């Protein structure tokens, strides 16, 4: 009879392999069965019984393996593969913050970055922070968008994540508090089915410093998640969300599996399922996909 839980261990491949000693220690902690290799020296599943009184917490697993740069996810074994993926864009599917990159090129990078950091940490309301940042771009050349895009890097594993889930009949959406000017390009490069973001005001060859209403913020991300699940005909338990900032918290909390990806402190304090070291391939291992089934980018 299959055990009801699984502990998934995932190594950061840029820092090294998954040590056998870590696997052995983890197995002992959860009284697990023989580990199942998902990717040699990178990821394993350890089937295990339901946690009893005094069982290790998610925080305990993270602390135990952090020095090895190994992520640990303790999940129910049933229903791991998800039918809907909703992903944040900035600092999740792309490695930087696109608005901050535009601002740096425009000469107001420090001011915009400070507001971004405060917003992502939940210190300033998202709508207010976005308006303040965009206002600093008034009358700047629209060509800066293209220059910022040329410097934008897709996060390792993003294309593989999207293509693999789509190959297994999942609906994938990029939902960002950033701009549709970027979400369209990122969605095309990664293969997302849908993309949503904020409209950035452009008049001629200049940025207007204004946004097209309505603003897509935390509530809108959750709304898109609900809609996509309904359209796909599944419950929220069959959805996966990923993001790093405070505006992602509602959708991370609502999803069947919400993964805080290299997230800000406030997000990590609220979301137990975290990827702090590995890249976006980890989202596939979390669903039980072996690397042999990945559709590589």
Q: How confident is the model at residue 1 (pLDDT cuts 50, 70, 90)?
A: low
More confident residue, 71 or 118: 71
Say yes or no: 74 and 165 in one domain: no
- pLDDT number for residue 54: 87
The catalytically annotated residue of 12, 45, 90, 244 is 90
Claim to verify: residue 23 and residue 163 sit in the same structural domain: no
Q: How confident is the model at residue 2 (pLDDT cuts 50, 70, 90)?
A: confident
100-139 pLDDT, tens per residue? 999 999 999 999 999 989 988 889 998 999 999 999 999 9
Residues 6+ apart with CB under 8 A from 121: 246, 264, 265, 266
Residue 249 covered by a domain = yes
Same domain, 263 and 252: yes
Marked catalytic residue, from 45, 88, 244, 248: 88
* 86 and 185 housed in the same domain: yes
| 89 and 227 part of one domain | yes
Q: Calculate the dihedral angle through the C-alpha atoms of 287, 163, 237, 95, rounding to the nearest 10 degrees.
A: 90
Owning domain of residue 175 = 81-96+154-297
Let me know whether 169 and 233 are in one domain. yes
Query: Is the same domain home to 215 and 87?
Result: yes
Residue 11, beta-bridge partner list = 70
Residue 88 among the catalytic residues? yes
Dist. CA 285–CA 213, nearest whole Å:
38
CB neighbour list of residue 117: distance below 8 Å, 6 or more residues apart: none
Residue 207 lies in a domain: yes
Clarify whether residues 54 and 88 are in a common domain.
no
Decide if pLDDT at 44 tops 80.
yes
154-207: per-residue pLDDT in tens?
999 999 999 999 999 999 999 999 999 999 999 999 999 999 999 999 999 999
Query: What CATH number did the domain enclosing 243 receive?
Result: 3.40.50.1000
* d(C-alpha 95, C-alpha 176), whole Å: 14
Q: pLDDT tens, 220-279?
A: 999 999 999 999 999 999 999 999 999 999 999 999 999 999 999 999 999 999 999 999
pTM of the model: 0.95
Mean pLDDT of 63-83: 96
Strand 239-243 with 84-87, pairing = parallel
CA distances (Å), 184 to each of 46, 90, 107, in order? 39, 13, 25
- Confidence bin at 18 (pLDDT 50/70/90): very high
Question: Any bridge partners for residue 71, and if so which?
Answer: 10
Our CA dihedral for 27, 29, 32, 38, rounded to 10 degrees, sits at -40
CATH of the domain at 41: 3.30.70
């Amino acid at each position: 009879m299959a055990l009801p839980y699984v502990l998934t261990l995932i190594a950061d491949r840029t820092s090294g392999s998954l040590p056998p000693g870590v696997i052995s220690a983890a197995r002992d902690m959860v009284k697990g069965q023989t580990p199942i290799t998902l990717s040699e020296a990178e990821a394993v599943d350890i089937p295990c019984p339901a946690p009893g009184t005094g069982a290790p917490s998610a925080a305990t697993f993270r602390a135990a393996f952090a020095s090895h740069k190994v992520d640990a996810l303790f999940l129910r074994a049933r229903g791991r593969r998800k039918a809907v993926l909703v992903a944040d864009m900035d600092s999740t599917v792309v490695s930087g913050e696109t608005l901050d990159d535009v601002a740096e090129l425009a000469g107001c990078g420090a001011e915009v970055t400070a507001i971004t950091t405060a917003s992502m940490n939940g210190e300033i309301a998202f709508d207010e922070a976005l308006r303040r940042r965009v206002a600093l771009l008034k009358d700047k050349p629209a060509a800066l968008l293209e220059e910022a895009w040329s410097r934008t890097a897709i996060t390792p594993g993003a294309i593989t994540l999207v293509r693999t889930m789509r190959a297994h009949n999942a609906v994938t959406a990029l939902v960002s508090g950033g701009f549709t000017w970027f979400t369209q390009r990122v969605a095309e490069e990664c293969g997302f089915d849908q993309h949503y973001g904020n409209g950035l005001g452009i008049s001629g060859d200049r940025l207007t410093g204004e946004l097209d209403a309505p603003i897509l913020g935390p509530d809108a991300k959750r709304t898109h998640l609900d809609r996509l699940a309904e359209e796909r005909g599944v419950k929220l338990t069959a959805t996966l969300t990923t993001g790093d900032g405070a505006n992602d918290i509602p959708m991370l909390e609502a999803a069947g599996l919400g993964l805080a990806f290299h997230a800000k402190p406030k997000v990590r304090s609220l979301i137990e399922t975290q990827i702090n070291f590995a890249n976006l391939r980890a989202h596939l291992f979390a669903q039980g996909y072996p690397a042999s089934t990945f559709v590589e980018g």
